[in-house]
Chains A and B, each alone.
Chain A
Amino acid sequence: MLSRIAESLFWIGRYVERADDTARILDAHLQYLLEDPYLEEEAACRALLAVMGATPPSEETEATRTTVLDVLAYDRHAPGSIAGALAASRENARRAREVLSSELWECLNTTWNALPSRIRSSSPHEYFAWVRERAAIVGGITDAATRRDETLQFLLLGRSIERADMTARLVTSRTLAGGAGPGWMTLLRSCGAHEAFLRTYRGRDSETLAAEFLLLDRLFPRSVLFSLEQAERCLTRLAPIDGRGLREEDARKVLGRVRSRLEYQPLLSLLSSLTEEMVAVQEGCSDASDAIRLRYFPSGVADDWIGDRL
């Protein structure tokens, strides 16, 4: 497969997942902002922007729900916003048009076409619901109509890495505004994990258990651990490990390091420095992404040849 195509697939996976997860996080937080009368809106919005890796507005301007929505939901040019991610995923799909199934391409294209009117006419909650739905369709088509070859592995790889990263952000957002962020239950609900969690732990309402579930559950597909393992599995499918073990620059080294740090650290110590740990996960995902690019999509880096016309 062409490196360029593979790269597009990888990023389609990441962007769609990013749009999905951002919609979930925003939905939970905005609802929470509305329902909790005691919350400091300004601080909460700034913190949310920070968690999502966006630059908060300068000190003079006030950060409100509208700011958050503009930056993280409606901006069509920033890759960190929902609309931006959807636009970018469609752009990447256009480049990889020939290996994508028509269904997948049409789905991404329709989504992109509908963006302006959606942004204009629906309430934030409806917009988020729509984004989740579109992402689910992408997931379904990927699952049902993609050959289990490299195409799928790259899509899945992108999705898993993004998911680990976003769930880490979601967990960090628990600490918004000095511990007054939405409770674990809201966060669980936002990633569709609430019912699964309740069933797993029979309604025991413990913060530790909820954190453990989002970080370490082996069976829930949105937990950080599950996503990291999935990414590692994809990499192994793409390049089985030979007798000499992993090469120095292999992305699995980075992912494995992050994973084992979560997996083998005592839970309480993990929780007591949650923000740092989650930043480490995000950095790990970013490093892994770089390592994958070096290995599989070298075009952008290696071909520094100068003006040599054939």
Chain B
Amino acid sequence: MADLFDGYPEGVAWDEMIEPGHTVRAPYQHVHRTMGRLNADELRVRADALARSYLAQGVTFDVGGEERPFPLDSVPRVIDADEWGVLAPGIAQRVRALEALLADAYGPQQAIADGVLPRSLVVSSAHFARAARGIEPPNGVRVHVGGIDVIRDSAGGWRVLEDNVRVPSGVSYVLSNRRAMAQSFPELFARMRIRPVADYPRRLLQALHAAAPSGVDEPVVVVLTPGVYNSAYFEHSLLARLMGVELVEGRDLFCAGGKVYMRTTEGRRRVDVIYRRVDDDFIDPVVFRPDSLLGCPGLLSAARAGSVTIANAVGNGVADDKLTYTYLPDLIRYYLGEEPLLNNVDTWRLEEPESLNEVLDRLDELVVKPVDGSGGKGIIIGPAASREELDLARAHLRADPRGWIAQPVVQLSTVPTLAGDALRPRHVDLRPFAVNDGDDVWVLPGGLTRVALAEGQLVVNSSQGGGSKDTWVLGEMRRGARPPLTTEGGPPAPSSADGDTPAGVQQDANPTDTEMREQNQQQQQTPSSGEPPEPPTRRFPAWRSSC
């Protein structure tokens, strides 16, 4: 029975688990040992159990009308505390800068006046929503949830690949991956200190409550979904369920008198915060696409009147435009007065003629991406593209240089992944999620690690056949050194009031059960010698009296 790691190749990319020379990096020691002890069949059994549990829960996506479990690879991705100590503040910094940028772009436009950001970039962005000007979010937050995609390059350094501040999705997989992994690999969880992720829905709800229009005591929060046919519907329903709020579709909402209501069996009910998972284009047919049935007419004017909060705010797309991305390091310095903690990937701005020419020359060794794309759509990877594709791309770039950016091919880091009967390196990225409640940007420890399941494949998006891995951030504290619990608004922690030993009354059982056992033994006994056994004298069951 072959070791799963047999013949594990050393690639050009940075491998998260195995250093050149086949030494195992420190955070992966336990994982490597446990996986090394399994053979392919055993790992396959566990992987099947993972898939089954996903089918049962409905964590699936549609492939040609058939429901397939979302592929979760059995080998986790591990990040140690020190590394996370760099990454998390970097993510938070990025989100703060994006917030400042959005507040500025839809407000005074100071950065443009100061020449940090070209005006043309803002106004030419496909997602700059003029209708969003003048909508002041109650607590100043526009990016309630942000997903910042980061990668590790071949030198082992973290870089930001893109920002997602419109409707970043994938957090439901983080939650369900964790649950499934804990059930499949209990021994690893027992040995490692993995920081929990289950807090996310509570944090999100807290941030949404904090974003409610002022003067609302107990805000009614809803999750707005495009409906059951949306590929992320599972996520919408999971979040609504875990937050205990209503999951609504556009047709469940209506606006009247500048306020938003939902239709319920008890009449209309005011809605204060809408966590929307519908794109800008569809959210309000009055302002955006008039043929949209997914939104609710009048939402934007209600938001402008300050009677409802839309989260994430409308028009956020201008901040995660991939051309804006190239300015972000400067913007961090400009708005926050800090040095960026995380670097960008080097990017060519194609509006500059010399960059455009260079890119057109070297197109076969670069990656070009549309500035407003998501989900890996429209990306052309030079080395993998055919001559026709490259020619077509050249034409696109010449016609619309504003619409594209170019980057060198980054060798994403790899993590061992189950492929057939062995573990093989596969490329991964990471999307940490940040929740901004106005006071603080909280980064969920871990995030969604997406993995390209085909060998050498660099696009990890799930719509392109990617899978995911559970992402474990190791805690820095030892077992037992638990941080003090904060109880918010609750009663004093009940336990401390009455001592440390919880007590329970011993469980009782049907007394007949024990008697029957004795009696059973008696029935089996044959008298050993002449002397018959004494007939039982106590508690003789009634039904025996007839014999």
Contact = CB atoms under 8 A, between A and B. Distances in A.
Nearest to B46: A123
Given A38-B477, A175-B495, A178-B495, A51 B503 contact: yes
Nearest to B178: A35
A38 B490 contact: no
5 contacts: A31-B182, A33-B190, A176-B502, A198-B243, A307-B537
Given A35-B182, A174-B494, A203 B245 contact: yes
B481 A47 contact: no
Contacts of A126: 49, 183
B535 A307 contact: yes
Nearest to B487: A207
A295 B308 CA distance: 62
Interface in A255-288: 268, 271-276, 279, 282-283, 286
Interface string A5-42: 00110010011001000000000001101111111110
B503 A310 contact: no
A99 to B, nearest CB: 14
Given A40-B480, A195-B241, A50 B503 contact: yes
A300 interface: yes
Given A38-B475, A172-B503, A174-B495, A88 B510 contact: yes
Contacts of A172: 502-504
B539 to A, nearest CB: 6
Contact of A279 (B202, B243, B505, B538): B505
Contacts, number: 210
B182 A4 contact: no
Contacts of A52: 504, 507
Contact of A92 (B205, B206, B510, B515): B510
Given A52-B504, A303-B540, A39 B482 contact: yes
Interface in B488-547: 488-513, 515-516, 535, 537-543, 545-546
A245 B513 CA distance: 34
Interface in B455-484: 475, 477, 479-483
Contacts of B245: 198, 202-203
B485 A275 contact: no
A29 to B, nearest CB: 12
B402 interface: no
A173 interface: yes
Contacts of B241: 195, 198
Given A201-B244, A272-B494, A273-B497, A53 B192 contact: no
B401 to A, nearest CB: 47
Contacts of A169: 504
B186 interface: yes
A271 B190 CA distance: 32
A44 to B, nearest CB: 10
A54 B504 CA distance: 8
A30 to B, nearest CB: 8
Contacts of A177: 500
A276 to B, nearest CB: 6
